[in-house]
Homo-oligomer: A and B are copies of this chain.
Amino acid sequence: MLKVYLAGPEVFLPGGRELIDRKREALAEFGFAPTRRHADFMERDEKDPRAFGEEISRLNEELMDDADLCIANLTPFRGISADVGTVFELGYMIAQGKPAYGFTNDPRDYSVRATDYFGSATIESGRLVSPDGEMIEQHGMADNLMIDGGISHRGWSLQRAQTTPETMWTDLSAFRRVLTIARDQLHNREHHDDAQ
């Protein structure tokens, strides 16, 4: 059974363990298995916070090395873009040649959120530009093009859902759509491989 690394910032949220448990349970419905639990839930070492952080990093990397694919929760976190830890993991999995999917519970393009961040933006020579002269990516993508592009130019999928602030971290509709797509893409491939 293919093993899924669930990347996402839920570890930082109140009730994070339950949020992650629901996603782990959904995997089984679609014929996937989760990795072992994220190292972030390890017993805290008070003595050396930095060494403890490095240990979590190392253990999460081991989980990724052991996984067959990843599904990244790319919902904007503490700002206008996805959680950077999650994005690091997405790049890490993609570089290993493993299937990588994403979902976000914010349906807007990055360019819309960035324009909100700056307060306004104008079109100059065909490019969207902030009042400070910064270029704002406008590719109809959910986030930075390395994220969306890295997923989509390989034929994987990034799904978006419209949610409310109250359901932004609990709504699993986009996550389940990703699971449906991943099942169709990867289980067929598995059977194909078996047949050879």
Contact = CB atoms under 8 A, between A and B. Distances in A.
B46 A153 contact: no
B140 A50 contact: yes
Contacts of A134: 12-14
B85 A84 contact: no
Contacts of A68: none
A143 B78 CA distance: 13
Contacts of A126: 44, 46
12 contacts: A49-B138, A53-B139, A53-B140, A54-B153, A56-B149, A79-B81, A82-B84, A88-B91, A89-B91, A89-B146, A92-B92, A95-B96
A79 B78 contact: yes
A141 interface: yes
Given A78-B79, A78-B114, A87-B87, A145 B13 contact: no
Interface string A1-38: 00000000001111010000000000000000000000
A58 interface: yes
Contacts of A94: 92, 95
Contact of A88 (B114, B133, B146): B146
A121 interface: no
A14 B91 contact: no
A57 interface: yes
A186 interface: no
Interface string A77-113: 0111111110111111111100000000000000000
B139 A52 contact: yes
A156 to B, nearest CB: 12
A71 interface: no
